[in-house]
Chains A and B, each alone.
Chain A
Amino acid sequence: MRETGAGHGPGVAKRGTRSMAKDKNLPILIVDDYRTMLRIIRSLLRQLGYTNVDEATDGSMALQKLKTKPYGLIISDWNMQPMSGLELLKAVRADPDLKDIPFIMVTAEGKRENVLAAKEAGVSNYIVKPFNAETLRQKVEAVLG
């Protein structure tokens, strides 16, 4: 699993001495082309205490948002058009201002090749749909420390 270091530039929320998981105001970007899934993830994050959540419906919209505000976490689907979650991940990791943002893939794509491709691209964690609230909590806390 990719280790995320301290961020540089405007792309990553400032990381202090407290674990980011305890910062409930951490800006989180969720990306999915199904609006119902965006609502579900937003609701589950709200129950975990994270309320500073923005949404995008595909990778290219997400990239635009990432350049306008420092996010502390990206939670993204894979299968989206015109830009997929994997393409978004690669773009994030290739951008010096964004490369250290923790990135969780939440997707129905569960084949071994998919997980390995995401790992190769630098994913922080990987959740396969359908998932439950406890899994989301564990994976979010695992990447935020």
Chain B
Amino acid sequence: MTSTRIEGAPTFETVLHTLQQLVREMETQVHALSTRVRNEVLELSTIVDNVRREIRGLEPDDLKHRHIRAANDELDAVVQHLESATHDILNACEGLEAFTAHLPEDRHDDYLALLARIYESCSFHDLSGQRIRKVVETLKEIERRLGVLLRTYGADVAADGEERERDPLLNGPALPHQAPSQEEIDALLE
């Protein structure tokens, strides 16, 4: 059988040689790529090991059981102290109210107005307590997320339970520059 060669077409040997060159080129490229990937993975592994070492260096148990707990205890003490002081002030005011009867009648309103100012101001305990409660919740959330991070990197930290779903209508007192006025509230009720 005679084969018909198309004029100008490469020979079998040429095609074979080209294919062999292509394969060698691909092998070189794949080798270079896998070396790069291997190096990147090694680098990542080093980074992860460093992070793990740093996180272990945080001494998770110490953070959780000493520092955060101490912060919570201090905040509890602040709230209790504020409550005690507020009750003392209110006791004194109620005692002062009893003196109203001994004042000239035309002084009663001014006197009671001053006492009312003190009663109003005593709401500091309620508002401070609510702000402190927000701080405590933030600390608990930090503690929880820290626990998740530590467990991810292999630290032996007990689970803190699921993140509680937050009621979007419970935000506590607003920051002073964000707090609405009573007039703004009244307008919403119209």
A interface residue numbers (CB < 8 A to B): 1, 32, 34-37, 39-40, 43-44, 46-47, 78-79, 84, 86, 108-117, 119, 123, 125-133, 135
Given A47-B116, A128-B182, do A36 and B188 touch, yes or no (CB 8 Å)?
no
Asked if B119 and A43 make an inter-chain contact with CB atoms under 8 angstroms apart, the answer reads yes
20 residue pairs from A and B, CB less than 8 Å apart:
A1-B189, A32-B126, A34-B83, A35-B83, A36-B123, A37-B126, A44-B120, A79-B170, A84-B170, A108-B127, A109-B169, A110-B173, A110-B180, A111-B171, A114-B171, A115-B189, A126-B189, A128-B182, A129-B173, A133-B120
Taken residue by residue from 125 to 137, chain B's Cβ proximity to chain A (1 for < 8 Å, 0 otherwise) reads as 1110110000000
Q: Which secondary structure dominates chain B's binding surface?
A: helix
Given A128-B179, A130-B120, do A116 and B188 touch, yes or no (CB 8 Å)?
yes
Stretch at the interface among B49-57, B86-94, B155-163: B86-94
Question: CB of B154 within 8 A of chain A?
Answer: no
Given A125-B189, A129-B127, do A111 and B174 touch, yes or no (CB 8 Å)?
yes
Given A36-B83, A36-B86, A37-B126, do A132 and B120 touch, yes or no (CB 8 Å)?
yes
Chain A min CB distance to B73 (Å): 20
B interface residue numbers (CB < 8 A to A): 83, 86-87, 90, 93-94, 97, 112-113, 115-117, 119-120, 122-127, 129-130, 168-174, 179-180, 182, 185-186, 188-190
Give B124's nearest chain A residue, CB to CB: A130
Asked if B189 and A40 make an inter-chain contact with CB atoms under 8 angstroms apart, the answer reads no
Asked if A119 and B189 make an inter-chain contact with CB atoms under 8 angstroms apart, the answer reads yes
Q: What 7 new A-B contacts, CB under 8 Å, besides A47-B112, A126-B188, A128-B182?
A: A35-B83, A39-B122, A40-B119, A109-B171, A111-B169, A126-B189, A132-B117
Residues of the B chain whose Cβ atoms lie less than 8 Å from the Cβ of A44? 116, 119-120
A90 to B116, CA, bound (A): 32
Chain A min CB distance to B121 (Å): 8
Asked if B130 and A108 make an inter-chain contact with CB atoms under 8 angstroms apart, the answer reads yes
Asked if B123 and A37 make an inter-chain contact with CB atoms under 8 angstroms apart, the answer reads yes
Asked if A40 and B182 make an inter-chain contact with CB atoms under 8 angstroms apart, the answer reads no
Chain A min CB distance to B132 (Å): 12
Residues of the B chain whose Cβ atoms lie less than 8 Å from the Cβ of A130? 120, 123-124, 127
Asked if B94 and A43 make an inter-chain contact with CB atoms under 8 angstroms apart, the answer reads yes
Asked if A36 and B90 make an inter-chain contact with CB atoms under 8 angstroms apart, the answer reads yes
